[in-house]
Structure 1
Amino acid sequence: MACPSVTTGNRFLSEAIAHIDCQAQAIGAYGYGALAEPGSGMSIALTGLLTIFIAIFGYRLMLGEEMRARGLVGDMLKLGIVLTLATSWPAWRTLGYDVAMKAPGELAGAISGASQLPGSGNDLVSRMQAADDAIVILTVYGTGRTMGGAVRSDTIGDRLEGIAVTDREGLADGRMAYLAGILAPFALVRLGAGFFLALAPLMAGLLLFAGTRDLFFGWLRGVGALGLGSAALSVLQGVQLAILEPWLRDALALRSAQVLTPSAPTELSVITSVFMVVSFALLFVIAKIFFFGGMGVQGVWQHIQIARDRNASSAPAASFVDGERNAQPRALLIAESVSQVLRREERGGGFDRLPGSLALNRPDERMALAGAGGARVEALGEHLRLPEARRYARGSNAGRKRDLK
């Protein structure tokens, strides 16, 4: 893919932007094709990862591990995502490439149009180039100050001979900050996005295993941060043009009227330097939000797994998963049995009768059952007790004598 060349002169900025954008798109598209091509090293590595994943899944079945429906659906979903990202360019172009390369421009255009910022009509690059041309013209005219303090007129050449050294350096520094503040962040987000998009066949295979899943989610966050950064830079450049365009018109009008503008170099340097710093600071904030700000994609995934495990542990014992009964743990069954016995004791004031066996009952309950015509219910262990005559008889001669008196 032949990208436009960059030349010096009044088309430098627009040609540099077009070349960087062309290279980014070529890296993202052709790099993906080279890695996903059958027979390539990445394709063989992805096949190996899929083989290992399926082999581990089969060993889990052979070892008798219980396969839940949710886990099975999750594994199939991961396989579908990996195969889609790594082997299907039409699907990846819709889901990833267009979102990272084209969606930021559309998002920035909508925001800039609603805010009435310059460049909202798809002419942002041309207006930035026009501003750069105006800075060059202002550099040619200078501020009007000469080494001796007199104003040199007539030709531009005469004016150039009389420009003070500080004016020339200030205007040059202002233009340098303007160009660097536009090209450096733009190259960072566009070339970075193109490189990340080209790595999709490699990164997709890392989703299969828990140990490498962090790298996949980090790569996904990087693509999102670069895409959002591209949109934010377009809006920020519109704000810069909203300040710089009227300032340049006023400065050129004053110089055309032979009015001194000694503060122009300092003002130009401040405007362009501030927006260059703000551009990098904005990219840093976006990266911090995506990589360190609260719950990321992986945090959402972990919360889904925790909720799924919690729902599975609270399921009733009679539920069936894959045709097998989900039995409750033994400790839970014992705890439930003890709690049932304690509840019956509290209700009856003693030990209630257990089904199919005789238990110790209260005396009034046994008398009520006998008086109702039913068979006498003998308490557990009652046949081992002493008769009442012997139970209440004293065991010594002195005691018996006292009882006879």
Structure 2
Amino acid sequence: MKACPALDMDAGAIRGVLETVDCHARFYAQSGYEALGSPGSPYQAWLTAFLVIYVAVLGYRLLLGSGARMSDLPLTALKIGAVLALATNWTLFQTLVFDLVYRTPIEVARLLTGPAAQSSAFAGDPVGALQVAYDQLSLSAEAFGKAAGPGASAFSNGNAAAAEALWQAARALFFTTAGVFSVAMVGAAVLTALGPIFVALLLFPATRGVFEGWVRALLATLMAAMLGWISTALMLTILESGLLTLAQERVALELNVDTALSVSGVVMIFALVQVGLVLAGALMACGFRLKARTRHGAMEGAPQTPSRVEPPAGEVGVLSRAERLAASLSQTSTYAPRYSGPPVAATRSAAAVPSGAPLGTAGATYRRPSVRGRDDFGGGAA
């Protein structure tokens, strides 16, 4: 891949920055990925070690029966194949990951501005439209500044106030479009260059959360850039008539302060909207989750189905033979001490009664030792 050219300011500030950052980001992403995948890279040894450990752990789980099932082997093989393909093949990774994150936002912006090709000069080229808008704001600010004269104050001179508002709008347009999109491109390039490392972490459940975080970061860059381009397309559609009026007034030397302030206000409003959409895209990306299978085959996060259906209140369910046997053994172990304790105590108390002790009346005690005493000490003669 050839090196990128230097920053070309003749093409304009916004166009030059975006084209330069785009070229360097692509070069960095591809070179970083290929450096990790080269034969002499330590990453290849780490990836081989990860795969050996993963297959060994899977084999032991199958032998010991600790959660792994034969029915999970096709999905496991598919996961290993996906990790190997994405971690070692730049062409596949570029098609499935990098281009999806990197090219989707600008393509969506072109699609949104495409239907207006018959009536808009900005259709089909959002970067060129941004550059035109920035140039018109800067030229109009310069024209109002010349009309205000040197040393004019914005609080006492309308032309000076319009010039300051247009300069602020031009800066806001630059930072909320070229700045935001450049940050998204650099973020996507860095995450892509480190992509093979995070893809390998998908193998183990303990490191799967790091892989999810990497995917969320990619989605955050995608959503921020895409929502930003959609907002920019809408802003350019609204600004087109105002920028045309500013250009006509500047050429005719009939500057109107109200036109300048209205255009500046629209740019400032969309600058705030751009910041809010970037935050909204990050929040949406944080909602990404991977559902992993538990050891019983259920999906984590899904509602759990009870293994035994309890009968409704007031109805007796039909128990199996094993359940009836378990309930019978439980009742036997619970009530056995109650039946074994009292007879022993009663026998000991009866044996401890002396032969000459006075006998109680009938019903005074639970047992009648007097009857037993007669049988043992004189009742036999009768």
After TM superposition, the score normalised by the length of structure 1 is 0.66
Q: CA deviation at 1:273?
A: 2.3
Aligned residue runs from structure 1 range 353-364, under 5 A: none
d(CA) in 2 for partners of 1:118, 1:233: 20
d(CA) in 1 for partners of 2:321, 2:78: 36
Q: CA deviation at 1:90?
A: 2.4
d(CA) in 2 for partners of 1:49, 1:299: 22
Secondary structure of 1:178 counterpart? helix
d(CA) in 1 for partners of 2:133, 2:301: 55
d(CA) in 1 for partners of 2:115, 2:23: 28
User: 8 Å contact 1:118–1:241 — kept in the other structure?
Assistant: no
Q: CA deviation at 1:71?
A: 2.7
Aligned residue runs from structure 1 range 231-310, under 5 A: 231-291=226-286, 293=287, 296-299=288-291, 305-306=299-300
Question: For residues 281 and 310 of structure 1, do their structure 2 counterparts lie closer, same or farther at Cα, with a shift above 3 Å needed?
Answer: closer
d(CA) in 2 for partners of 1:122, 1:79: 42
d(CA) in 2 for partners of 1:213, 1:101: 24
Q: CA deviation at 1:229?
A: 2.7
Question: For residues 93 and 86 of structure 1, do their structure 2 counterparts lie closer, same or farther at Cα, with a shift above 3 Å needed?
Answer: same
d(CA) in 1 for partners of 2:13, 2:147: 29
d(CA) in 1 for partners of 2:192, 2:121: 27
d(CA) in 1 for partners of 2:320, 2:106: 59
Runs of at least 4 residues of structure 1 off by over 6 A?
300-303, 307-314
User: 8 Å contact 2:3–2:27 — kept in the other structure?
Assistant: no
User: Partner of 1:372 in structure 2?
Assistant: none
d(CA) in 1 for partners of 2:52, 2:182: 38
Q: Is the counterpart of residue 59 in structure 1 residue 60 in structure 2?
A: yes
Q: Is the counterpart of residue 129 in structure 1 residue 131 in structure 2?
A: yes
d(CA) in 2 for partners of 1:109, 1:94: 20
User: Partner of 2:82 in structure 1?
Assistant: 81
User: Partner of 2:45 in structure 1?
Assistant: 44
d(CA) in 2 for partners of 1:111, 1:335: 66
d(CA) in 1 for partners of 2:275, 2:51: 40
d(CA) in 1 for partners of 2:22, 2:255: 40
Question: For residues 304 and 129 of structure 1, do their structure 2 counterparts lie closer, same or farther at Cα, with a shift above 3 Å needed?
Answer: farther
Question: For residues 244 and 106 of structure 1, do their structure 2 counterparts lie closer, same or farther at Cα, with a shift above 3 Å needed?
Answer: same
User: 8 Å contact 1:143–1:163 — kept in the other structure?
Assistant: no
User: 8 Å contact 1:11–1:129 — kept in the other structure?
Assistant: yes
Question: For residues 185 and 308 of structure 1, do their structure 2 counterparts lie closer, same or farther at Cα, with a shift above 3 Å needed?
Answer: closer
Q: CA deviation at 1:201?
A: 0.8
Query: C-alpha deviations, 1:344-370, integer Å up to 9, x for none?
Result: xxxxxxxxxxxxxxxxxxxxxxxxxxx
Aligned residue runs from structure 1 range 99-178, under 5 A: 99-114=100-115, 121-142=123-144, 146=148, 165-178=160-173
Q: CA deviation at 1:17?
A: 1.0
Query: C-alpha deviations, 1:95-119, integer Å up to 9, x for none?
Result: 1122222233333333333577968
d(CA) in 2 for partners of 1:108, 1:49: 41
User: Partner of 2:192 in structure 1?
Assistant: 197
Q: CA deviation at 1:165?
A: 4.7
User: Partner of 2:364 in structure 1?
Assistant: none
Q: CA deviation at 1:19?
A: 0.8
User: Partner of 2:339 in structure 1?
Assistant: none
The size of the alignment, in residue pairs, is 310
User: In the alignment, residue 334 of structure 1 is paired with which amino acid?
Assistant: A
User: 8 Å contact 1:206–1:216 — kept in the other structure?
Assistant: yes
User: Partner of 2:98 in structure 1?
Assistant: 97
User: In the alignment, residue 285 of structure 1 is paired with which amino acid?
Assistant: A
User: 8 Å contact 2:191–2:218 — kept in the other structure?
Assistant: yes
Give the fraction of aligned pairs with identical amino acids, expressed as a percent: 27
User: Partner of 1:335 in structure 2?
Assistant: 323
Q: CA deviation at 1:3?
A: 2.2
User: 8 Å contact 2:291–2:299 — kept in the other structure?
Assistant: no
Q: Is the counterpart of residue 207 in structure 1 residue 202 in structure 2?
A: yes
Query: C-alpha deviations, 1:35-89, integer Å up to 9, x for none?
Result: 1222213222222222221232233345454641233233222211211110122
User: Partner of 1:22 in structure 2?
Assistant: 23
User: In the alignment, residue 242 of structure 2 is paired with which amino acid?
Assistant: W
d(CA) in 2 for partners of 1:290, 1:167: 40
User: 8 Å contact 1:181–1:279 — kept in the other structure?
Assistant: yes
The runs of 5 or more residues in structure 2 that have no matched partner are 309-318, 328-382
Q: Is the counterpart of residue 217 in structure 1 residue 228 in structure 2?
A: no
Question: For residues 245 and 137 of structure 1, do their structure 2 counterparts lie closer, same or farther at Cα, with a shift above 3 Å needed?
Answer: same
Question: For residues 304 and 199 of structure 1, do their structure 2 counterparts lie closer, same or farther at Cα, with a shift above 3 Å needed?
Answer: farther
The runs of 5 or more residues in structure 1 that have no matched partner are 151-161, 315-330, 340-405
